Amino acid sequence: MNIKRSRIAYLRKVLSKYNDLYYKEGISAVSDYDYDSLMKELEDLEEEFGENSLFRNQESGSPSVAVGSDLDENFKKVRHRKRMLSISNSYSKDDLRDFDIRIKKILTDQSDKDIEYCVEFKIDGIAVSLVYGKGNLVYAATRGDGETGDDITQNILGLNIPFSADNAIDFEVRGEIFISKQDFLRMNEEREKEGLDPMANPRNAAAGSVKLLDNLSARKRPLKFVSYYYDGDGSRPKQSENIDLLKNMGFPVAENYFLCSNIEEVIAVCDKWESEKESLDYEIDGLVVKINDIALRDIIGETSKSPRWAIAYKFKPQQAQTRLLKVDFQVGRTGAITPVAHLEPVKLSGSVVRRATLHNYDEIRSKDIRVGDYVFIEKAGEIIPKITGVNLSMRTDGAEVLKMIRSCPACSQKLMKQDSEAVLRCVNSSCPAQLERQILHFVSKGAMNIENIGPRMVSGLISSNLVSSLSDIYFITKQDIMSVERMGEKSTGKILSSIEKSKTRSLEFLIFGLGIRHVGIEASIALAKKFKSMDDLLRAGYEELLDIRDLGEVTTQSLKNYFSIDKNIQLIENLKSAGLNMLYTSGNSKNNSLVEGYTFVVTGTFKDILRNEIVEYIQQNGGKVSSSVGASTNFLICGSNPGSKLDKAEKSGIKILYENDLFRLIKNPDLS
C-alpha cells in the first residue's frame, strides 16, 4: 500500500516536471507514448485509491486532473469563455475501437447504431482562442491552464486570419498556430546567419514566437493558423458544418476533414495518413477523431482534462536504426560541452540523417551508447533526431565505451561541472571556440547588428590573432579583413561602416550582446530601461536587480557573477573607449502605451491600491475612465466583488485586467 502511494507521489512529480518542461521550455523529455503510459499508470493507481478524496480531487493538483499549463507571467491573463481542454491519446486501432464502444455504452439508444465521426489533422502547434465581439477580434489567447490563458493579441497581428467578420456578431474560433516545415527551415537558415541557435522543431518555434515579448519580432515570424472550432452566433449542429462555416467566413481550415460513418472508416483514414503525412507541408502528429453531432457531445460530457467525445490517434514516432560512427564534442558560447553523434547516413521521415543530439555525457552513460553500436534514432517533429537506445543484440566486441573528455577540445582547459548541472563546461573565457561563438552572438542582428561578419571571417580573425576579445572588433582595419577573406573594397567598406554604426545601438543590445548567461533580450531590455546607463547597471546591488520583474534569482546571480570578474569590467571599459554608446536610447515615449487612448472601467475593491489611484494613473497616462461598460470600453479593471460590470464585460468580450495585471501594467508598461 505504501509503495503504491509513494509511486503515486513519484508519478505526480515526474509528470508535473515533464509538463513544465514541455509547456514552459518546449522540451519533450520523454516520448508522447512513454508520457501517456506513465499517466495511465498514475490514473489507474489514483483510481484504486478513488474512495479517498485526498488522492483524487482538483486541489491535489495532480497532473492526472489538471491540464498542463503554459502560462507565462509576462502576459495579461484572460479567462476563457469555455474551458480549453486537451484530448486523450490513443496509439492503436484497438484503442479507437474501444473508444467507439465506450461512446456507444454512454449513448444507450445508439448502442446498435454507427456513430458518425469527423476526423481532422492534428497539427502540431499551439492551441489558441480568438474571441470576436461584434465581428471584430477582441483578443487572442493561449490555452494556458485551460481556464485562463495568456493574451497574445499583440503577437498575432500578422496572422492569416480575418480580423473582422462580415456580420457584427460575437463568436469564438479556436485552432492551432503553427509554422510550416518550409518556413521553419528558412527561419533556421536565417537564425544561423544571425548567429542564433537554430530552433529544435516547428512546434517550439511557434510556441516561442507567440510568447515573444517583442511584439514586432513576433509579428514577423511566419506563423500560420488553422481553425477547428466555432462557437457563437450561427453555430451549426455538426462539427463538419462548423468547419465549412469557418471556411466561408474566411478562416483557414486544414485542407480536409474526413467524415466517417463508423469507426472502421476512421481507422482507414488514420492508416492512410500515417503513411502519407510526409506529403503535407506542416507537421501532423496524428489525427483527431470527434463525434460529428454536437448535441451528442453534451450527453457524453468530459473529464476534468479532456472531452469523452473526442480522441487523438497519435502516430508512432518514426524510428530507424543506424551505426554510430563517432562522437565529437562541441563548445558552445557559454562553454557548455555537447556531444554530437555522427551516424552512418540513414533515411528517416523523408530526410537523410547524419547527426543526432546527445544532451550530455550522462545520457551516453545511462543508455550505454558505444561507438560502433547500432543505435535507434527517432524523430518526433525535431529536425535533428534523438538516439533513443542501443540494439544490444547487434553489439560487437569492437564497440568502444566512450570516454568523456576532461579538457576542452579547443583550448585544452580542464572542464568543470558547475552548480548541479549535468553539463560540463570550459570555463576559460579566452577559449577560441567560445570566443568565436561569442563574437557571432555579439554581431548578430538581435544584438549589435553588425552585418556581413560570418563564421568564416570570425574564425579567420581569431586564428590570425587579430581578434582576441569582443572589443577588438572595433579596432580591425580594412587590411585585417582583406587578409582573412578575399573580399572587394565595397564589401569591406560595408563591414566597417556597419561596425561603426553599431556603436550607437541602445544599451539593451549591448547588454544582450555581451552574452551573459541567462540574460536574454527581454532581461536586457528590462535592465536597460531600469538603469538607463551601463555605469548605473554596474553599480546596482543584488536586491535592486532582483526587484526587476523580468529577472529571477538565477539571472540576477549570473549578472552579479559576470560583473565581479575583472576581465569583464575591462571589456566594458574597452568598449567604452572604442566609442560605444552606453546609454538607453530606445524608449522616449512618455505615456504608458497600453493606457494612452484606451477607455477603462474600474470595478470592485482592490487589495494593494486605491481605486482613486488607479483612476489617476489612467488619466495621467492619457487614458479615459468611464463609469459603465459600453461599446467604447477597452478594458475592465476588476477587483474583488465586481458585480454586474464583470458579467457585462465578459459577455461583450472586453479585456479584463485583474489586480496583478494592473501592477504589471503600471510598473512595466512597454513590456506588456
At 201 the three-state DSSP class reads coil
In the region spanning residues 129 to 148, those forming contacts with ligand IVH, defined by CB under 6 A, are 143
In the region spanning residues 167 to 226, those forming contacts with ligand IVH, defined by CB under 6 A, are 176
Question: CB under 6 A: which stretch of 120-128, 233-241, 439-447, 621-629 binds ligand IVH?
Answer: 120-128
Residue among 120, 150, 172, 183 that touches ligand IVH (CB under 6 A):
120
Q: Which is nearer to ligand IVH, 206 or 601 (CB)?
A: 206
Q: In angstroms, what is the minimal distance from the CB of 160 to ligand IVH?
A: 16
**Would you give the binding string for ligand IVH spanning residues 306-325, x where CB under 6 A is met?**
-x--x-x-------------
Q: What separation in angstroms does the CA of 202 have from each of 205, 212, 450?
A: 5, 15, 28
Q: In angstroms, what is the minimal distance from the CB of 65 to ligand IVH?
A: 16
Helix 263-276 × helix 93-106 angle, to 10° = 150
Residue among 76, 77, 122, 277 that touches ligand IVH (CB under 6 A):
122
The cell 497600453 sits on which residue?
594
- List 231's β-bridge partners, or say none: 172
Question: CB under 6 A: which stretch of 84-92, 427-435, 553-561, 627-635 binds ligand IVH?
Answer: 84-92
182 Cα distance to chain centroid: 19
**Would you give the binding string for ligand IVH spanning residues 230-269, x where CB under 6 A is met?**
----------------------------------------
Element (H, E) at 34: helix 32-48
Residue among 42, 87, 103, 266 that touches ligand IVH (CB under 6 A):
87
* Sheet strands (E) in 45-170: 77-79, 89-90, 117-123, 126-133, 136-142, 148-150
Q: Which is nearer to ligand IVH, 141 or 288 (CB)?
A: 288
Element (H, E) at 320: strand 318-331
CA 499 – CA 422 distance, rounded (Å): 38
Q: How many CA atoms lie within 13 A of 322 on its CB side?
A: 23
| Residues sharing a CB contact under 8 Å with residue 62, sequence separation 6 or more, in sequence order | 12, 42, 46, 55, 56
Q: In angstroms, what is the minimal distance from the CB of 288 to ligand IVH?
A: 4
Residue nearest to ligand IVH (CB): 127
288 binds ligand IVH (CB under 6 A): yes
Active site residue 122: yes
CA 392 – CA 63 distance, rounded (Å): 35
Residue among 21, 85, 106, 268 that touches ligand IVH (CB under 6 A):
85
Question: CB under 6 A: which stretch of 82-90, 109-117, 596-604, 639-647 binds ligand IVH?
Answer: 82-90
Question: CB under 6 A: which stretch of 158-166, 305-313, 456-464, 474-482 binds ligand IVH?
Answer: 305-313
Q: Which is nearer to ligand IVH, 32 or 508 (CB)?
A: 32
Q: Which is nearer to ligand IVH, 125 or 653 (CB)?
A: 125
Decide the pairing of beta strands 77-79 and 400-401.
unpaired
* Sheet strands (E) in 528-593: none
CA 188 – CA 179 distance, rounded (Å): 12
Kindly state the cell numbers that stand for 268: 482507414
Q: Which is nearer to ligand IVH, 103 or 399 (CB)?
A: 103
Residue among 16, 31, 74, 86 that touches ligand IVH (CB under 6 A):
86
Comparing C-alpha atoms, which of 498, 514, 497, 664 is closest to residue 582?
514
Name the catalytic one among 76, 122, 379, 655.
Answer: 122
Comparing C-alpha atoms, which of 622, 591, 609 is closest to residue 657?
609
How many residues make contact with ligand IVH (CB under 6 A)? 14
Q: In angstroms, what is the minimal distance from the CB of 310 to ligand IVH?
A: 5
Q: Which is nearer to ligand IVH, 86 or 321 (CB)?
A: 86
Question: CB under 6 A: which stretch of 116-124, 366-374, 470-478, 638-646 binds ligand IVH?
Answer: 116-124
Comparing C-alpha atoms, which of 45, 383, 474 is closest to residue 186?
383
638 Cα distance to chain centroid: 29
Question: CB under 6 A: which stretch of 304-312, 492-500, 626-634, 638-646 binds ligand IVH?
Answer: 304-312
CA 87 – CA 64 distance, rounded (Å): 13
Kindly state the cell numbers that stand for 185: 527551415
Element (H, E) at 646: helix 644-651
Q: Which is nearer to ligand IVH, 90 or 428 (CB)?
A: 90
Comparing C-alpha atoms, which of 586, 501, 503, 569 is closest to residue 534?
569
The cell 472502421 sits on which residue?
264
Question: CB under 6 A: which stretch of 90-98, 117-125, 464-472, 645-653 binds ligand IVH?
Answer: 117-125
Residue among 11, 39, 96, 123 that touches ligand IVH (CB under 6 A):
123
Phi, psi (5° rounding) for residue 503? Answer: -65, -20
127 binds ligand IVH (CB under 6 A): yes
Q: Which is nearer to ligand IVH, 86 or 338 (CB)?
A: 86
45 binds ligand IVH (CB under 6 A): no
CA 601 – CA 62 distance, rounded (Å): 37
Give the residue numbers annotated as catalytic, written as ranges.
122
Binding residues for ligand IVH, rule: CB under 6 A, are 85-87, 120, 122-123, 127, 143, 176, 228, 288, 307, 310, 312
